């Protein structure tokens, strides 16, 4: 990451955790001057578009997702799934793990209602709900969140920009 000086970057969008926010915060944790690092930046809307821009040479670097097998040898560093598919890329940094998307409830919703919804999602016993979750959220399963889920990323979260981007 020390070579990040005046490069072109592709991002998913300003609200994307893996495709923008967390990677920029991680770079800040590593003392990278974001203004000096990026000569130009593009927001391309999807992880596929970011990967294509890097692979086509349109930009020098891009931020996308990568799912690493937690049981694999960390020195192997080949993700189980990634925004670039099977293409040969050079990974210059990995931030995370980033907790997956969440389903949040209004704080005024009763504890009973929250518990019923959470239990239905975690158990996915209803086949129609399981199908809908897979189609709408691309989720194979849900877990109940704990503080531990955020512990691994807390330092990065502390370095989120107040007003990201230029």
Q: How many CB atoms lie within 10 A of CB 99?
A: 13
Q: What is the mean pLDDT of residues 42-68?
A: 94
75 prior amide bond cis, ω within 30: no
Closest by alpha carbon to 41, among 13, 2, 3? 13
Percent of the chain with pLDDT over 70: 93
Q: What is the mean pLDDT of residues 7-12?
A: 97
The whole-angstrom separation of Cα 35 and Cα 137 is 35
pLDDT of residue 76: 64
Q: Which residues pair with 66 in a beta bridge?
A: 82
> Predicted confidence band at 84 (pLDDT cuts at 50, 70, 90)?
confident
Q: Which residues contact 118 (CB under 8 A, 6 or more apart)?
A: 144
Extended beta strands in 24-91, E state: 38-43, 61-62, 66-67, 81-82
Q: What is the mean pLDDT of residues 105-112?
A: 93
> Predicted confidence band at 85 (pLDDT cuts at 50, 70, 90)?
confident
What pLDDT, in 10s, does the model give residues 122-158? 998 999 998 998 888 877 788 887 877 777 677 777 7
């Amino acid at each position: 990451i020390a070579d990040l000086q005046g490069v072109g970057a592709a991002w998913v969008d300003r609200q994307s955790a893996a495709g923008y926010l967390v990677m920029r915060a991680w770079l800040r944790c590593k003392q990278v001057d974001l203004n000096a690092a990026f000569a130009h930046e593009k927001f391309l809307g999807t992880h596929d578009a970011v990967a294509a821009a890097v692979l086509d040479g349109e930009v020098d670097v891009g931020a996308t997702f990568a799912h690493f097998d937690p049981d694999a040898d960390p020195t192997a560093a080949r993700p189980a799934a990634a925004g670039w598919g099977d293409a040969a890329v050079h990974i210059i940094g990995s931030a995370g793990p980033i907790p997956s998307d969440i389903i949040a409830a209004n704080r005024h919703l009763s504890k009973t209602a929250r518990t019923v919804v959470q239990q239905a999602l975690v158990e996915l016993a209803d086949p129609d709900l399981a199908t809908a979750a897979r189609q709408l959220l691309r989720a194979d399963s849900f877990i109940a969140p704990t503080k531990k889920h955020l512990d691994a990323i807390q330092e990065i979260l502390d370095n989120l920009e107040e007003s990201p981007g230029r």
